[in-house]
Chains A and B, each alone.
Chain A
């Protein structure tokens, strides 16, 4: 067995290298806009080492598939294949998995275990542990993700505050923790304490004045530049896949695509470290999307501990769906919202079993995060609010207005961001990623420092905006004038528990309004440029910040309107003077939800996340009003959410499940070969020699070949994948006796009579898929697309009158859909 493996490994080096070199000489790299064969594998020459990656985890000798029942009569030919040629049954990088094959592999394995468990106690224990392994894996994922998220939160808080100053008590404390048990904090200035020194104090010795301001400004900008520089060079040097949000690629991976290394160890480490740096550098990005990526990396790494998940790509994707739920759960402290997010946004196939397991994993992660306690007050998220003031149904009009704003902003943001990213992809802007990050960080820091609302981090800003002003607050936003200074003092102070009567705005509030308006404009423009840069960047917090600012401004406006014009008919009925009618914090919350919904087009998950964040069940109706309006307005302006738009920009082979296919084309309009193409490349079941097959493999670049009974009858036998063919033939040539170029290749289960003295035949029935799906040429495309979506197919054969006519691949369908929508069909890059 060891010799076979060694034989195989050295074989891979030479053969694949030659094949790749030859392919490259023949075809050239396939890039966007390539006009050569449509079924080209985009072989990025990284696939050679991916085969090596495959070998270690296949050393148990897995046999690939289900059609291996009929070996027994051919012991002499098949003692190699019985042990399983390593590499068969795995996939190339940037290819789609075969869901049907993976699922049936898992069912076979499970059947085998159930059959054996009656035989001995050991087998019974093994079957129990196999059933239990899923839950154990979920537990581990929750623990690891929760721990990492806690670490990220603590480190990000510290690094963010490091831009402003340092703690003398212990350099590892951030501002709030430094002043934690200080007795010198006052009501007006809650964050001043002698242990925390700003940089101006440390370097120049003054706390106020122009020189202090300049020194603080300079230090802020330099720290921001340093952090962003470190982030981008670490990403570039160690794990280029760690940049961006990660959610579009995870969506594609969950639909069956393979991107090797995207969920690997180095990507995890680099993403964690650089996420903290990127968030702390003041750039307008959040950490929710990258946390989903981090959680999926943890899940992928932990899958390698369990054979059941390591070897089966479909089962692994179930685990990855659960991990995305964990990611959102630790980001927001919303386990239910996380599961719904995974169900709605990220997952492609979400069986009911995954629902329960995701919930379990999300709860474990939330619990772990809580016990690490990054915020010092047993809360999971920084902006946990607890107001319960009621709202009036007339306020639905401003709520709908917020929804419209959210939808408009979402649609415009998506268009602007995609245009910017496309420019980055195609023009010279993309050649200077490090410089781009530095320039954007510099611009952000320079413009953000003067305005106190942009100087604070996104989460702090949102937390302050969501906060409803009570007597205990002393921030600028809560600087209202008291209702009356003389007279009946008792009656003017609040009757309700934590709200105050609507009061006229003081000078602080007016100053805050101007600053917030400037912050809104700034954030709206800078986020367009920031999302998609070559550092880990998330979208949730910036969108929520934009929405929260808009909402709060509207809320303050409504509040003042209600106070100054309390005799208008619309206010008279429900807003008497001295009552607390309008809660600007609620408006901020709804604005945040509307903007986030407009950008990502989340529906149920967004509402659930928002009310898990706030604990306010009474605000479900306003939330739904705002979110629905925002989604309708945004859908009217552009069909896709930001993640689908990025998927389309990158050309990933993602078959959208949410859209209906509404054209009346038939399967024969989409299938290959077209009239002008060469005829379909098929293999016959017993008529081809090894040389002919190798010639066919090297002449074409199709990823699979149908096998027919004979060239005249064209009756279908099965389908064989190119990768399996290459591996098996090479293995046989090296390690099997007597296989030469003239040996026949057989896909039957009995060998026909051989001429005496001829070389022994090579039977490859074990790699043949005997049940390929086929449709007739008159099948409507609606049904065909439905079949592809529901079963997760890669290719489907087309027959006419029982004879094989052509083949439809997933890429053909995507191109067809693009053509039907008048988009460029050559933008679909991968296979």
Chain B
């Protein structure tokens, strides 16, 4: 589980680096100057958008075509409010894609744990040594199963052994948490 945490941290670091890089490459689409001009005399209110940089972000550059002419331009432009805005579409894209992939992975893992793993285990190990996280199997002997795991897994290589062991421990913890939160309502009512 420590390795998993380290991997997570690494992934987070990648996200940060990635987003920093993406922020630097300023897409011309990612900047805009938005001018909002309220109704003036007979002219309706309008919103103008252009991809200009900060120095050109004023009424004269952005409002095109200018609906009034001559001396009214100044009065019209005084009421308009122009704001310069930036965004990073790369960050947004990256974040959404990472989020959806993590969500998808979690859902797949949940489906695997609840549906597929019992079937696989039954096929591999037979009914006698079924390791199930049944809620009715009493946890009076919390480590009965762990003994089985340890004794059975001598023949398997060490890494798989550790992973299996860690996973069993984690599942037991989650089961305990679920009991105290959902069933007995002791914590976090």
Contacts and interface: CB of A to CB of B under 8 A. Distances in A.
Contact of B47 (A44, A187, A237, A304): A187
B83 interface: yes
Contacts of A471: 38-39, 79
A158 B100 CA distance: 11
A240 B45 contact: no
A273 B102 contact: yes
B157 interface: no
Contacts of B158: none
Contacts of A371: 20, 23
Nearest to B29: A181
Contacts of B46: 186-187
A113 interface: no
Contacts of B178: 236, 240
A144 B37 CA distance: 41
Given A154-B92, A172-B93, A269-B102, A249 B142 contact: no
Interface string A261-295: 10001100110010010000000000000000000
A238 B147 contact: no
A13 B83 contact: no
Interface string A742-765: 000000000000000000000000
Given A249-B188, A276-B99, A45 B139 contact: yes
A236 B135 CA distance: 13
Interface string A376-404: 11100000000000000000000000000
Given A52-B169, A241-B181, A249-B188, A373 B86 contact: yes
Contacts of B8: 265, 269
Contacts of B161: none
Contacts of B119: none
Contact of B45 (A188, A301, A304, A425): A188
B177 interface: yes
Contacts of B184: 31
A13 B188 contact: no
Interface stretch (B11-19, B53-61, B122-130): B11-19
A240 B182 contact: yes
Interface stretch (A17-25, A209-217, A306-314): A17-25
A46 B187 contact: no
A241 B188 contact: yes
A177 B87 contact: yes
A173 interface: yes
Interface string B11-50: 0100110011001000001001000111100001111110
Contacts of B146: 13
Given A147-B12, A249-B187, A265 B181 contact: no
Contacts of A553: none
A472 B36 contact: yes
Nearest to B103: A273
A404 B4 CA distance: 51
A300 to B, nearest CB: 11
B154 to A, nearest CB: 14
A472 to B, nearest CB: 5
B156 interface: no
A425 B182 CA distance: 9
Contact of B189 (A151, A237, A425): A425
A144 B9 CA distance: 9
A403 B136 CA distance: 52
A157 B5 CA distance: 27
Ordered nearest first, which 10 A-B pairs have the shortest CB separation?
A187-B45, A46-B176, A376-B87, A172-B96, A471-B38, A240-B181, A425-B189, A425-B185, A240-B177, A155-B99
Given A46-B173, A237-B110, 17 more contacts: A21-B140, A46-B180, A147-B19, A155-B95, A186-B47, A190-B47, A233-B110, A240-B180, A241-B187, A241-B188, A244-B188, A259-B187, A265-B4, A273-B106, A377-B83, A474-B45, A649-B189
